[in-house]
Structures are given as structure tokens and as C-alpha cells.
Amino acid sequence: MTRILLTGASGYIGGDVLHLLKTSHPEYECSILLRDSGKAAAISKVFPDVRVVLGDLDAAALIEDEAAKADVVISKTIFVYEKGDMTLIV
């Protein structure tokens, strides 16, 4: 069984990736990292077999644990880090 961890599934591109994964490979075991419980509930209604992990990109231990369980990690998350005069967009 292929296990996938997807971040950013509630966004435009991440949502398309999740839809493509579940329609073309329903046998894949997908987990998604989301920070918003409302969006998690909406996605769970459409994809009840997708495991939702609530957290954000600051939860390093959680992400490390979830990534260790996955065969593939797909990140479709935009992260903005601001400190002083510096802004980093990943």
C-alpha cells in the first residue's frame, strides 16, 4: 500500500493534487496536513477515506512523525516567514 502525505490540500493546487490522487489511485492511503478544522471537515465530506492531520508548518515534530509514516511526501503549501526586514516565501 502506497502511503502519501500531502500538505496544502485545502488550496487550489493542493486540492487538485488530492482529487487526482484519489480518482486515479483510490488504493493510495492519503494523509493531509491542515491547520483549519473547518476546511478539514469539508475535505473529509468529499474524501472520507483521507486521514486528516491537524497542524501547521511550525509543528516540526508532527511533520517529522507523519513524513516518517509516508512513502511519498507532496508539499503544496506556501509558507511566509517574516523577521525584521526579511520575508521568505517557500
**What is the domain partition of the chain in residue ranges?**
3-89
Residue 81 predicted with pLDDT over 80: no
Number of H helices, E strands in the chain: 3, 6
Confidence at residue 79, expressed as pLDDT on a 0 to 100 scale: 64
Residue 78 predicted with pLDDT over 60: yes
Amino acid at site 24? S
Residue 82 predicted with pLDDT over 80: no
Task: Name the least confident of 10-14, 50-54, 69-73, 76-80.
Answer: 76-80
Average pLDDT, the chain: 89
Q: Nearest-CA neighbor of 62 among 23, 49, 70?
A: 70
Residue 22 predicted with pLDDT over 80: yes
CATH number of 3-89: 3.40.50.720
Question: CA 31, CA 7: separation in Å to the nearest integer?
Answer: 9
